Amino acid sequence: MVHTTNNKRSCQSGERVVLRLFTALVLCSLTASAQSTIHRADGNAALNIRATHLLGFEGAKNNSNGTLSLQDGSLQFQRNGKPGAQVKVGSVRDVILGEESRQVGGLPMTLGKAAIPYSGGRVVSLVAHKKYDTLTLQYVDDDGAVHGAIFQLHKGEAGVVKAALTAQSMSVGSRQGEATKDSSGEVSYENK
C-alpha cells in the first residue's frame, strides 16, 4: 500500500516536472521572439530586421533565420552576418503584407507535446501559438523572370520594411527619373 502511494507521488511529480519544463519552453520561445530589434542607421538609409526566410529569395535557404537589411538601394538577407542574397529595390514589383498564426517551438516542441500524457500537448498547443507578419515580395531578375519571396517577421515589423522599401524605391525611382526623364513607376505596394 505504501509502495503504491509512493509510486503515485513520484509519477505525479514527474508529470509536474514535464509540465514545468514545457511551460518554461513556451515562455522562452515567446520572450526570445520579443528580442528582435529594429536598427536604423542614417535615418531611412539603412534597416536591419530579424526575419525568417520562408521561401523564394534567390540564394537563401528555406526556413532559415537571418537579418533582412535594406541599404544602398538593395534588399539583402544575411545569415550569421555572412554576405547573403540580395535584390535591387528597383526590381521589386510588389510588396504585400499578411498575417499568420503559427505554433511556436518547431519540431522539438511538437515532439514534446506528443510526449505529454493525457493529451496535455493539446492544452499546450492552445497557448503555444503566436501571430507573425508575412512579407511577400515579387521581383524580377535581369532576364525579366518573375521571382517571389516570403519572409516571416515579428508582428508590426513588416510594415516597417514596407515603408523603408517604399522610401528607397521612391528615391531610386526619382534618381532614375533624373537620368532617363521617365517617371513611370511600375512598383505597386499593396496592403492585403
Binding site for other proteins (CB under 8 A): 54-56, 94, 96, 98, 100-103, 110, 113, 121-122, 125-126, 129, 134, 136, 138, 140, 143-150, 190, 192
* Smaller CB separation from other proteins, 74 or 138: 138
Q: How far is the CB of 22 from other proteins (least distance, A)?
A: 13
* Smaller CB separation from other proteins, 181 or 192: 192
* Smaller CB separation from other proteins, 18 or 46: 18
Q: How far is the CB of 100 from other proteins (least distance, A)?
A: 7
* Smaller CB separation from other proteins, 3 or 192: 192
Query: Cα 84 from chain centroid?
Result: 16
Q: How far is the CB of 35 from other proteins (least distance, A)?
A: 22
Among candidates 112, 119, 99, which has minimal Cα distance to 28?
112
Q: Give the burial string for 19-49 (b: 16+ CB within 10 Å, else e).
A: eeebeebbeebeeeeeeeeeeeeeeeeebbb
Q: Would you call 168 exposed, middle or buried from its count of C-beta atoms within 10 A (0-12, 13-18, 19+)?
A: buried
Q: How far is the CB of 99 from other proteins (least distance, A)?
A: 9
What is the grid cell recorded at 111?
A: 515532439
Among candidates 40, 61, 62, which has minimal Cα distance to 49?
40
